Chains A and B, each alone.
Chain A
């Protein structure tokens, strides 16, 4: 018997000891197969089917050969790379300042760092036009420039960095909180400067989180549709091009191939990240008692960091403030007299789409959050068959452009045995599988900090894997759990492109309503909806944060 078979049999034996765990693995694997792999296979099959029912690779060859698609592809990669780096740097500055230093108004900073994931992105683009356009408040009224060009790559980089950095922030906070303070404090006690500690301890230990953040932002930028569609101008990106080919050239097959091409760089980035991190040790949390972290309070460190954060906050406030102002004025951009008409309009239309969105998001959030944690826990801690399949599959729906996700879901679930179109369930599925990776990445990075012996101790004391997961692991990675929940809730509330093909007459949601107001120049009415949505989402984030923190303290009580 060779080593591989031995290993395989050993894995099987381990699993037999814990039937519930096996069941969980089977459930997750089959869910991923049905809701991620199956639709992807269906759309690939569709794109190589010819009109008379045969198969042909013509479409693929045509797409690959087309030089303008190749140009667009390179554009998307360039944009994704730049946005990923900028967003991760901003996210790290916020996360570090909030977790490591003594600065005032942390609650405010936290709010500002999560705010930008809320809004449907084309609203940010609209703010840019109102602020920096030809009739823009800043460019025209303030600076007197009449011909400023807001369209193109520069605006796209700004808008994407601004709307995606919260993901980097959420991922990095999770990991920075998880790093045991004792390693940094030990270095401090040994006389290292804060600067040395950062570069030799904190930064290297947070590398898994940095790579996760880069990966998540890169993928999001690649598949982004709304921002490039509104503000891209002459800068074509693959996500927009795929949509154009599908709905403008009526060529669904070529559009699908283009979108699947987007998976290649995303997968490459994913594999690179896994390869880089594998085999390196990041464990700091060992179960030995450690004190509360001594926060950095030296003025020469705190003041510059705080200043940078405030500067970024003011940019965010400027952009979102513009939207809020827009909701309260007569005609956004033209007539700035204050009015409540737009809110009256929104109230007169009714709240069913908003209620629908909240119901769907509430249903999807706990499932996405817990499944994400479970997948991270299983893939980092357990040995089982098809493990890499699980971590790869969980990423795919996130990496595809939303439009294509929607179309592939129709192809897969509009017929028996999985007749689901038109139901709320299919929307919940999209939300769950499309929003998993943020939680997974955060939890994976955090779990790498934690010595498995803590969990082993729990198991040795007689607890099963489930109890260990809920009472030991989950509280230790609650930062990542929280960010997974927040991301999933917000994205479920604000999704546009993924669900445009899946909403039904019964289950229509608020974002499609906002989008259609935008279509007929009712910008201020759209802004009023956004303001209401921001309030709902902020409330939800506070409730989630309360619940997750409670989880922690109730555990502490239980331990006593």
Chain B
């Protein structure tokens, strides 16, 4: 008897689950437009701990509830690529513009020009407007305070400093083939030194590299854990271990540094009843209100809106010797440069 009951239960349960899976409805307003819901679905590449500070402020402003899924930028790109026929989210917030450029090339983004763009320097903007810049992050060196004071050494202040023999096996950076951060480093060096010389530089740097990490935010963490003395990453990631109490400080390259543009965009063909909400969110994120949050939530991201407040503890990008970083060129040459880098490093590793 009991056997029958259990098996019937299992089967009914499975059927109910199957049937309840597919309910979807759209309502129309009187003038034929799709009625906007009070919700917005977001794929967000910012750390999960930061996200609520933006979403709560946005809700207060507009009454729209944002539901989010946290993924890395590369993961979001893969996800919207396979969801292409029936996208599940309407907006993508955060992540290096490299991945947004790749998404544009695969026709996954819906162009939108926010009225707020007038307050944002044109050098950061996508010429065809398929994504909008929302923050910038300069490349920086995270350094282990304790290690440097015990060795009596000075913090590195240029890219050449990183080649010093005393840093042998002490530097951590991500692999350009797995992290947008590390690719920005590679592209910066190529733009500063020219391709051949940049590859020679990376090969020399390889001697001092302890480990190529998978994730771009890992090198500063390794510094915090004492696994490396110097970590190469964006300044906002470099500052995070220090907030948690790890002995990490930040220095910059005086001979010129590259930067990333963090982006935001509308996903093409997302849920119809959220499109207007997505535009509202972009307008808000680019506005002074949305940008000022970077200074209060310890994210240390640098705002792009020239009216916004620069976070305390972070360094304004205009005070840094940044190079003229050509992100479109970087996006287009990505595959080729990474393959070349991988070859150069593999050849070096074999000699070790």
Contacts and interface: CB of A to CB of B under 8 A. Distances in A.
Given A410-B83, A470-B2, A503-B69, A331 B215 contact: no
A144 interface: no
A265 interface: no
Contacts of B259: none
Which of A130, A424, A504 has most chain B Cβ within 10 Å? Answer: A504
Interface in B1-41: 2-4, 6-7, 10-11, 13-14, 17-18, 20-22, 24, 41
A471 B3 contact: yes
A244 B177 contact: yes
Contacts of A416: 22
A298 to B, nearest CB: 43
Interface in B147-177: 169, 175, 177
Contact of B245 (A147, A334, A505, A506): A334
Contacts of B6: 370, 470
B227 interface: yes
A461 B227 CA distance: 69
A229 B212 CA distance: 11
B191 interface: no
Given A133-B226, A334-B246, A501-B79, A466 B4 contact: yes
B212 to A, nearest CB: 8
Interface stretch (A110-118, A179-187, A518-526): A518-526
Nearest to A140: B226
A410 B47 CA distance: 24
A252 B226 contact: no
Contact of A410 (B21, B79, B215, B349): B79
B247 to A, nearest CB: 7
Nearest to A151: B211
A27 B11 contact: yes
Contact of A513 (B22, B48, B88): B48
A501 B75 contact: yes
B225 A333 contact: yes
B346 A68 contact: yes
Contact of B21 (A333, A334, A420, A469): A420
Contacts of B86: 414-415, 419, 421
A521 B244 contact: yes
A248 B175 contact: yes
B180 to A, nearest CB: 8
A513 B22 CA distance: 27
Contact of A247 (B22, B41, B77, B88): B77
A133 B240 CA distance: 21
B205 to A, nearest CB: 15
A147 B82 CA distance: 44
A249 B4 contact: no
A90 B85 CA distance: 48
A66 B227 CA distance: 32
Given A129-B225, A471-B3, A517 B245 contact: no
Contacts of A423: 20-21
Contact of A519 (B47, B69, B75): B47
A410 B272 CA distance: 20
B78 A415 contact: no
A516 interface: yes
Nearest to A245: B177
Contacts of B59: none
Given A244-B178, A423-B21, A521-B224, A367 B244 contact: no
Contacts of B81: 252
A133 B215 CA distance: 19
A410 B87 CA distance: 10
B335 A249 contact: yes
Interface string A348-373: 00000000000000000011001000
Interface in B54-84: 67-72, 74-75, 77-79, 81-83
A519 B72 CA distance: 11
Contacts of A508: 69
A302 interface: no
A242 B47 CA distance: 23
Nearest to B221: A521
Interface in A224-247: 229, 233-234, 240, 243-244, 246-247
A182 B78 CA distance: 57
A425 interface: yes
Contacts of B349: 234
Nearest to A345: B49
Nearest to B7: A466
B102 A421 contact: no
A506 B36 CA distance: 19
B208 interface: no
A331 B74 contact: no
A134 B170 CA distance: 11
Interface string A38-70: 000000001000000000000000000000100
A520 B214 contact: no
A414 B81 CA distance: 12
B78 A249 contact: no
Interface in A207-234: 229, 233-234
Nearest to B72: A247
Contacts of A516: 47-49, 70
A133 B85 contact: no
A407 B3 contact: no
Contacts of A294: none
A500 B240 contact: no
Nearest to B342: A68
B78 A252 contact: yes
A469 B88 contact: no
B99 interface: yes
Given A244-B175, A466-B7, A505-B69, A519 B78 contact: no
Contacts of B20: 423, 425
B43 to A, nearest CB: 9
B338 interface: yes
Contacts of A522: 49, 244
B85 A415 contact: yes
B349 to A, nearest CB: 8
Interface in B222-253: 224-227, 240-241, 244-247
B172 to A, nearest CB: 11
A244 B214 contact: yes
B82 A252 contact: yes
Contacts of B67: 504-506
Contact of B225 (A133, A233, A513): A133
B209 to A, nearest CB: 10
A81 interface: no
Interface string A462-480: 0000110111000000000
Contacts of B169: 147
Given A466-B4, A505-B67, A516-B47, A247 B225 contact: no
B74 A247 contact: yes
A417 to B, nearest CB: 9
Interface in B90-105: 99, 102
B17 A335 contact: no
B92 to A, nearest CB: 14
Nearest to B3: A470
A247 B82 CA distance: 13
B132 interface: no
A361 B129 CA distance: 44
Interface in A361-406: 366-367, 370
15 contacts: A133-B225, A135-B225, A331-B245, A366-B10, A420-B22, A466-B4, A467-B3, A470-B3, A501-B79, A504-B88, A505-B68, A512-B70, A517-B49, A520-B240, A522-B244
Given A425-B20, A520-B49, A520-B240, 5 more contacts: A247-B75, A247-B77, A414-B85, A416-B22, A419-B21
Interface of B: 2-4, 6-7, 10-11, 13-14, 17-18, 20-22, 24, 41-42, 47-49, 67-72, 74-75, 77-79, 81-83, 85-86, 88, 99, 102, 169, 175, 177-179, 211-212, 214-215, 217, 220-221, 224-227, 240-241, 244-247, 335, 338, 342, 346, 349
